[in-house]
Amino acid sequence: MDSHVYKKAANRLPAMAGITVVRFNTRGTTSEAGTSIGEFDNGKSERFDVEAMLRYCFDDLKLENVWVTGWSFGTDLALQHAKDPRHKGLILLSPPLRTTTNEQLEYWNTDPRPITALVPEFDDFLKPEAARARFAIVPKLKIVAVDEAKHLWLGEPSVHRVLSEITSIVTGVPTTLPLEF
């Protein structure tokens, strides 16, 4: 929730692109907002956190154009647990594919929604070529290799690219956001 890329998305995208950003922590996570109840379960019990957030977005906030965006461990959670039929698709930032199995990936071949993975050139866990090989079992998944970026998306050029890509996907219109906010 407090990663700089999520903070910047929440601070910028509503004003710059009219996109609502809802951030949340999974069980046992500590952030500026405090520590979430529950214990880290390596992606298993976090399913309930993902499902609860999607219900909140649809049932309480009444959002209609919901895209699930996960970063790092959150990409594994999205691939494994974001199956609510009401969301529009997945956006994966720096997917490590640490806990996602081939069987869980193959599920997405039965689901028509789009998936885009932004993979940094210098990622610590899964670089673009390795991502293409690992994601090959989901041919519809679009991989966007991002030159000179690292796993944490540090620096304004990386953040700008991520937020522009998210905006393009969510709005359906190719967009390059302004460099200044």
User: pLDDT tens across 82-93, in order?
Assistant: 999 999 999 999
* pLDDT tens track for 15-60: 999 999 999 999 989 888 888 899 999 999 999 999 999 999 999 9
Cβ atoms of residues 95 and 68 within 8 Å? no
CATH label, 4-171, candidates 3.40.50.1820, 3.40.50.300, 3.90.79.10, 1.20.140.10: 3.40.50.1820
Whether the full predicted model's pTM is greater than 0.85, yes or no, is: yes
Longest dimension (CA), the chain: 42
Q: Which spans in the chain are helix H?
A: 4-17, 46-55, 73-81, 102-107, 128-134, 156-171
Cα–Cα distance for residue pair 39/105, rounded to 1 Å: 25
Tokens at residue 181, please? 């906010």
Tokens of 110: 């039965």
Q: Which residues contact 178 (CB under 8 A, 6 or more apart)?
A: 16
R_g over Cα of the chain: 15
User: What does the mean pLDDT of the chain come to?
Assistant: 96
